[in-house]
Amino acid sequence: MYCKKQCNGNIKNKVIVITGASSGIGAATARKLIQLGAKVVLAARREDQLQAMVKEMGDNSIYVKTDVSKRADVDNLIRQAISRFGHVDVLWNNAGIMPISFFDEGLVEEWDKMIDINIKGVLYGINAVLPYMLERGQGHILATSSVGGLKTSPGIGVYSGTKFAVRAIMETLREEVAQTIKVTTIYPGATQSELGHDITSPKIKALYGNLKNMPKMDEEAIANAVIYAISQPGNINVNEVVLRPLGQTR
Ligand SMILES: NC(=O)c1ccc[n+]([C@@H]2O[C@H](COP(=O)([O-])OP(=O)(O)OC[C@H]3O[C@@H](n4cnc5c(N)ncnc54)[C@H](OP(=O)(O)O)[C@@H]3O)[C@@H](O)[C@H]2O)c1
């Protein structure tokens, strides 16, 4: 509601590229942004999901099938966005996976995937868009870290490590480009989404049995935070937003 009334002016016609837009937090935010008059470029790997979203969202949206762990795909994403809409105002590096496990389970291939998607994906996004934004003299880069990027606990070491890395990368970026480019890092707590669908660890699955009833936010809560950051006046740079559902202690 807040944003329907007050954010429209600063969102309308902005060209916003979202990675991880095929489900969860990214998809919910894309839908809200379209309603506020943005032009939205959806990126993820599942083409069927993206196609259905563009059909639903209309002419102000396109999708670009993108694997953020592939540098060429991310470069292509930014090129396609500029080609369709003329420029890019905002890139939100949101794609991420969370196949968590304990170290003694040795699920090294899953560690590699988290590093490639959660860290390198963010770096490739920054690399693809930053020279363009600096030349244009404006722009906004966001990334999704996690409360796991502020605190860790047993069983989330590698995921948490990737999200600490996102925090370090984004804070350094902010310091380097603070004269010209807005930089925002979002730190969500537990949120409804498909995250964790790829967990294979027996230890974590046993643990999740106990966590089933943990409090979770709707994706909309994160969408509102992202819209708050994007809709600020030109001289306001919202750097960090941390959100947890009431009842989440960690
Ligand atoms: N839900 C939570 O509790 C929570 C809490 C803190 C932080 N987060 C962070 O929020 C972000 C969004 O997650 P979510 O909760 O919305 O989960 P989700 O529903 O699983 O969404 C993850 C998105 O990332 C995309 N993705 C995964 N690998 C990709 C790749 N290689 N290339 C491009 N896109 C890829 C997925 O699309 P495809 O599979 O189609 O590629 C999907 O659109 C993640 O960075 C996650 O770590 C979530």
Domain architecture of the chain: domains with CATH: 2-242 (3.40.50.720)
Predicted pLDDT of residue 106: 98
What are the residues whose beta carbons fall under 8 Å from the beta carbon of 18, sequence distance 6 or more? 26, 29, 30, 40, 41, 42, 43, 92, 94
> Residue 208 catalytic?
no
**pLDDT per position as a tens digit, 178-194:** 999 999 999 999 999 99
* Protein residue with least CA distance to atom 36, ligand 1: 20
Atom of ligand 1 nearest to the CA of 50: 40
Predicted pLDDT of residue 1: 44
Predicted pLDDT of residue 3: 47
Q: Which stretches of 36-182 are DSSP H helices?
A: 47-57, 71-85, 108-114, 121-136, 157-177
**pLDDT per position as a tens digit, 103-116:** 999 999 999 999 99
- Interval between CA 179 and ligand 1 midpoint (Å): 30
Predicted pLDDT of residue 207: 86
